[in-house]
Structure 1
Amino acid sequence: MFNVTLIIPTYNRPKLLNDCIESILIQTRLPDELIVVDDGDLDEIPLESQCTQAGIALRYIKKDVPGLTESRNAGVRIATGDIIFFLDDDVILDREYIDQIMVVYENAPDDRIGGVGGAITNIKPMHLHRRLRRWVERFFIISGFQEGRVLPSGYFTDFTASIPGGETLKDVDFLSGGVMSFKRQIFEQFRFTDRYRAYGLGEDKDFTFQVAQQYRLVFNKKATLVHLEAIEMRPDKRLWGKKFVLGRYLFFRDHVLKNPWQWILFAYATTGYLIIRTMIFYVSWRKENAEHVLGILDGIYDIIRQRVLIRR
């Protein structure tokens, strides 16, 4: 039996954190350790006495340097579990979430599994207009036919609530940040990078894709949770659009680019993304969609002008 540590970075959202911990306390398999990494001003950890009574070792870190990446690394430094889970503070775990993740590790026929991720069940359903958009995204190599796969354009196919074909488990190229777990020894080789914070989004893809080059990453659709994704996390649509494009650029440059011809694929996909978001604006005429388009243009301008020069 592996010992289990859960790490939850949080920032001024005590009600959401309370609900998250509440869902942890009713798990069919309780964690051995819970680490709360606080970037805000928590007066107290919600449900602290209940965690102690349940036999969960509760640890608290108050950070001076803000940032999700730093929070994850800070949690790893003091974690004692054999398996380390990362959760966002706005997730609600289904009762068997930890159990379903641990089954994969404990029943593995070899030692090559490095990480296991779960499925978010409250993703918006694929209505007709969304299905049509997905086909356009595939045409521009923004998305593909297999979830959890990195594409030659540097873009990738994110997870929906299920895996086509009815598979329960699937080997993938990356895991999503708020629903991932890893064996402790992974962190002897890898750390989350903070270089995406200033420029782009996608530090979870950067980290997990590197792990996938040496270990198996497994997506388990039976390990389910709800991700509330609080709206205040993305208040600036223009900045978010810019960081989205720059995040794809950094990932492509550092992990996918092998020859100069691949720049054509990245440029093609990014142009397609701009076209799609522009069409969404013209259909909706909403200010936030216009801001998103302007952010994409900002990101493309920075790439052309080579303003994103950081290297690993």
Structure 2
Amino acid sequence: MSAISQNLALIICTYMRSESLKRLLDSIVQQTVLPQQILVIDGSGDNLSEQACRQANIAVSYFQVPPEHRGLTKQRNFGIEKVLPSCEIVAFLDDDVVLNESYFEEILKTFTTFPEAVAVGGAIENESDFTFVGLDYKPKSTDFYYDGFVKKDSQRFILRKKFGLDSDQVPGFMPEAGHGRSISFLPLSQKTYPAELLMGCAFSVRSTVFKNGTRFSTFFEGYGLYEDAHFCVELAKTGPIYLNTAALLIHLHEPSGRPNQYKYGKMVVRNGWFVWRTKYPNPSLKNKFKWHATTLLLMYIRLTNVLNSEQRTAAFTEFLGRKITWISLLLGNKPKLEQRA
């Protein structure tokens, strides 16, 4: 029988994904350690997610928010207000993940091992393609090598290396020029690594952070691309953050509820700029140039997908969204950094 953690609350924000939510709740039932409180914050316009919660084999506190509270950051902030005062850890999961049975056990273990940690992230098992090659391996120019593990770099990173635009930080940390490598570039070594940027689909935070008034920024509306990066950049100012690569889950990237590619392209550039300048309000001229150069490179790599992808329209409309937004930034239409949470 699973133990119940008396200090763990879980917040799941969902929107029109009742089947994904049911699958996640089924995986929670199998956990070696169960949350004391499970909050489902639903922005859907129907009652299918509510039905999934009622049918779950575990106690769920369900809240359907009104339209003014819809959107990932707003729903997370709504859920934070409902967390029991006794809960010391608040975990966040996307509705389209499936947990390894020891996920919560590993997360709690990390907070115990690192009592100074303000946040701990889980690792996405189905997005890792590293191979262990040992510490004596000499990586090729097309490789990404870290801590004895190697994977083939994608074309965008190979080109970034050629143009001198690759990140100069380890994965999970943002360089001054922005465009760092995410924690997906950390191998599933069963180790715990320091990080600065966690994946929003699977991270947990000490509740004292929220008791001090910290919330997710409402700059990020609706789908909220990069809201996790912005939150972590701000959080990292208050204490260390870690990624436990033994806290595993599968991320299925459910397509429903996502914006169209044009809006997505706009968010990639505008939200990316906002996070970068939140971390580095006054970057050097060299690093400003590198941010824009990398943005342009990635933009035109996306354009090439019009020729080599079956989803040509999606690729082209995303390219347009990126380009129009980049031009607007150059013309001075920049987010106001005082909008930070």
Fold shared, TM-score > 0.5 on shorter chain: yes
Shift of 1:269: 1.7
1:196 match: secondary structure: coil
What is the distance in 2 between the residues matched to 1:99 and 1:199? 29
Unpaired segments ≥5 residues, structure 2: 132-141, 143-151
| Corresponding position: 1:95 with 2:93 | no
CA shift, 1:2, in A, is: 5.5
Change (3 A) 1:135 1:257: farther
Structure-2 separation of matches of 1:24 and 1:284: 37
Residue of structure 2 in register with 1:26 after alignment = 30
Map of 2:258 onto structure 1: 234
What 5-or-longer segments of structure 1 have no aligned partner?
none
In structure 2, the partner of 1:116 is 120
- Does 1:248 find its partner at 2:253? no
Q: 1:293 to 1:20 in 2, by over 3 A?
A: same
User: What letter corresponds to residue 156 of structure 1 in structure 2?
Assistant: G
TM-aligned CA distance change 1:94 to 1:144, over 3 Å: farther
Structure 2 residue 269 is the aligned partner of structure 1 residue 265: no
AA of the residue aligned to 2:64: K
Give the conservation status (yes or no) of the 8 Å contact 1:199–1:243.
Answer: no
- Specify which of 15, 18, 30 is matched with residue 14 of structure 1: 18
Structure 1 residue identity aligned to 2:194 = D
**The 10-residue stretch of structure 1 (262-271 or 113-122) with the greater mean CA deviation from structure 2:** 262-271
Taking the TM superposition and a 5 Å limit, the aligned residue runs for 1:40-119 are 40=44, 41-43=46-48, 44-48=50-54, 51-52=57-58, 56=59, 58-64=60-66, 65=68, 66-80=70-84, 81-108=87-114, 111-119=115-123
Corresponding letter in the other structure for 1:217 = I
Amino acid at match of 2:91: F
Greater Cα shift, 61-70 or 131-140: 131-140
Q: Structure 1 length normalisation: TM-score?
A: 0.88
Cα distance in 2, alignment partners of residues 239 and 268 from structure 1: 21
Structure 1 vs Structure 2 CA RMSD:
2.5
What amino acid does structure 2 have at the position aligned with 1:133? R
Matched length: 305
Aligned counterpart, 1:172? 195
Work out the CA distance in 1 between the residues paired with 2:216 and 2:262: 25
8 Å contact kept, 1:11–1:39: yes
Q: 1:268 to 1:50 in 2, by over 3 A?
A: closer
Distance (Å, rounded) in 1 between the aligned partners of 2:120 and 2:336: 30
SS of the counterpart of 1:157? coil
User: Could you tell me how far 1:84 is from its partner in structure 2?
Assistant: 0.4
Separation of aligned partners in 2, 1:125 and 1:225: 15
- CA contact under 8 A between 1:161 and 1:221: conserved in structure 2? no
For the Cα contact (< 8 Å) 1:119–1:161, is it kept in 2? no
Equivalent-residue separation in structure 2 for 1:278 and 1:157 (angstroms): 21
Give the corresponding residue for 1:221. 245
1:171-199 alpha-carbon deviations (Å, 9 max, x no partner): 10111111000010011242100102279
- Take 1:91 and 1:142, find their aligned partners in 2: how far apart are those partners? 30
